[in-house]
Amino acid sequence: MTEHAFQYPDAQLIAGVDEVGRGPLVGAVVTAAVILDPAQPIVGLTDSKKLSEKKRLALYDEIKQKALAWSVGRAEPDEIDSLNILHATMLAMQRAVDGLSVTPDYALIDGNRIPPLSMPAEAVVKGDLRVAEISAASILAKVDRDHEMAMLDAAYPNYGFAQHKGYPTKVHMAALAEHGALPMHRKSFKPVKRALGID
């Protein structure tokens, strides 16, 4: 993992922030903020999508045990529909940072946009590959969201949520067409609108 050159190199407490779930048609967008403890390094942190599920779950537990602070934030489907996915993601990131038990000096946000925060922050493109704190956040957010999709799959087995995680795959589109939209579908997304007959 390459080190990121911070604009504020004297920052002691750095929070990494990432999101999972901007693209799916169902469920919340989930974000996490993590402040790592330099005295307790975690080996193997990288973009959550590049890890096996087994490795992700092991790191998920290790992050929660070793981090100085961590927090998960979310924006629900109705918030996504009323705000749009970008603004809902920024709100969920704000909630994750606000939920930290320790206030960071500085925040590093995956991507190219920064939510309104009470501390200085910097956007880092491909941050989940480049910054350990953002990698850790990506792992917490993905494991939590995947767990929610597994629970949704158990409640609504006809939709295949455990496999596609709510993304607009052929299986998901076919299920929408056949069974209709659920209350937790994002009604502002075009394929869901179509299924509801409001496109």
CA–CA distances in Å: residue 106 to residues 6, 20, 33, 53, 125: 9, 21, 12, 30, 17
User: d(Cα 43, Cα 130) in Å, to the nearest integer?
Assistant: 14
Round to whole Å and give the CA distance between 148 and 191.
21
Which segments are annotated as binding site for a divalent metal cation?
18-19, 110
Q: Which residues are annotated as a binding site?
A: 18-19, 110
CA distances in angstroms from 21 to 14, 145, 166, 190, listed in the order given: 24, 8, 8, 16
**Contact (Cβ atoms closer than 8 angstroms) between residue 158 and residue 51:** no
Query: What phi-psi label fits residue 56: left (phi over 0), alpha (psi between -120 and 50 degrees) or beta?
Result: alpha
Task: List the beta bridge partners of residue 112.
Answer: none
Q: How far apart are CA 179 and CA 192, in angstroms?
A: 12
Tokens for 11, please give them: 């920052």
